[in-house]
Amino acid sequence: MDFQLMLAPMEEVTNDAFRTLCYNNGADMTFTEMVRVSNLAKAKKFETDRIRISNATPTQIQLAGAKINEYEKFLSSFKPENGFKSFNLNLGCPSPEFIRQGIGAAMVKRITRVNEIVKLIQKYGFECSIKMRLGVNNYEKMKGAYLNLINNVDASFFIVHSRTAKQRSNEPADFSVYYKCLDTGKLIVANGDIKTREKVLELKKMGLYGAMIGRAAIEDPLIFKELKV
């Protein structure tokens, strides 16, 4: 299995053109910016436009939300376009509004609901991966909330952004968590502060399935070529 280099989902950045640019320059998989399932269920055009895939660029559509009826409504009329590969659930958004609503990073501990959503997506014949943080805060991280989720959800792979929702993006990502993640036996993709070939090689040697690149791809969308190992 080849080590996968993935373009991170980024609002206002990873549109169709940006995803295609990164794919043509070495990214193995790309992700749409996050879209709210509540808007998709109502077929709101500004949201459905954000998940259009105009070509064969391998793309996962990232969904945020926790209401089963909204997923059901959206999925019942969803028609995959050319490059569509899978759905991805957002269990990482740190916005206080999301946390209050029990979505984004607050869903890391909502294992039953996450399982229901993943199973529903699979029932419609689609794959589902997960992008997550380590929990809302350090307490959840220490309690191993992220490991409980990885152990108990049957997703195709887990992208672990190794910070809690409370941590700012200038605080260093905690790469030590990946050993515990790998012990679950699941496919794990690392995310957070990855920008050099040396780091990618180190992650590959650890046994990770891939590395997801965000801000470094904004600085240089051609970086995937340099990072190929």
Ligand X SMILES: Cc1cc2nc3c(=O)[nH]c(=O)nc-3n(C[C@H](O)[C@H](O)[C@H](O)COP(=O)(O)O)c2cc1C
- For ligand X, give the closer residue by CB, 40 or 123: 40
Q: How many CB atoms lie within 10 A of CB 175?
A: 16
- For ligand X, give the closer residue by CB, 109 or 161: 161
Rounded to a whole number of angstroms, the minimum distance from the CB of residue 65 to ligand X is 13
Rounded to a whole number of angstroms, the minimum distance from the CB of residue 152 to ligand X is 21
SS3 5: strand
- Nearest residue relative to ligand X (C-beta): 214
87, β-bridge pairs = 61, 128
Q: Tell me which residues touch ligand X (CB under 6 A).
A: 8-11, 13, 33-34, 62, 90, 92, 131, 161, 191-194, 213-216
- Helix runs in the chain, H state only: 16-24, 37-41, 45-48, 68-77, 96-100, 111-123, 138-142, 145-152, 177-183, 197-206, 215-219, 223-227
Rounded to a whole number of angstroms, the minimum distance from the CB of residue 119 to ligand X is 21
- For ligand X, give the closer residue by CB, 100 or 185: 100
SS3 201: helix
- For ligand X, give the closer residue by CB, 168 or 185: 168
What letter would DSSP give residue 166? T
Rounded to a whole number of angstroms, the minimum distance from the CB of residue 202 to ligand X is 15
